[in-house]
Amino acid sequence: MEVFKNGKNFAIAIRNVKGTDFQKRVWSEICKIEIGNVLTYQDIARNIGQPKSARAVANACGKNPYLEIIPCHRVIRSDGKLGGYSGKGGVERKKELLKSEGLKFNNDLKLILN
């Protein structure tokens, strides 16, 4: 059994999750991102000890089975652009989610740092 925490500090136990070890490591790492924060795919890769696996991390995000729990929208590209979003609404939805968490973007969908 894996234990995930989201940004609101709810602990959520998930049994019989369907996915590979790699995917679970990625997902649990994503759950650590707090509201208003973002990490890059590369950051996640580094945090799980596989700095060269940024692309694979993106794959795992896309297969996230718990869209409502795991904040995969808080993962963006290392150049500050949004990247993709496989949930309903696509990147536009991703952008709105992040804006509602207090982040801002320029017209190139690029994150504006404070």
Partner DNA sequence: CTTGGGCGGTAAA
Partner DNA sequence: TTTACCGCCCAAG
Cα-to-chain-centroid distance, residue 33: 8
For DNA, the closer CB: 32 or 63: 63
Cα 45 from Cα 60, distance rounded (Å):
11
Smallest distance from DNA to CB 37, Å: 14
**β-sheet bridge partners, residue 5:** 11
For DNA, the closer CB: 72 or 103: 72
Cα 93 from Cα 1, distance rounded (Å):
31
Active site (annotated) includes residue 31: no
Q: Which residue out of 33, 72, 75, 98 is catalytically annotated?
A: 72
Q: Check: CB of residue 43 under 8 Å from CB of residue 35.
A: no
Where along the sequence are the contacts to DNA (CB under 7 A)?
A: 19-23, 40-42, 50, 52-64, 72-73, 75, 77-79, 83-87, 94, 108
Which positions are annotated as active-site residues? 72
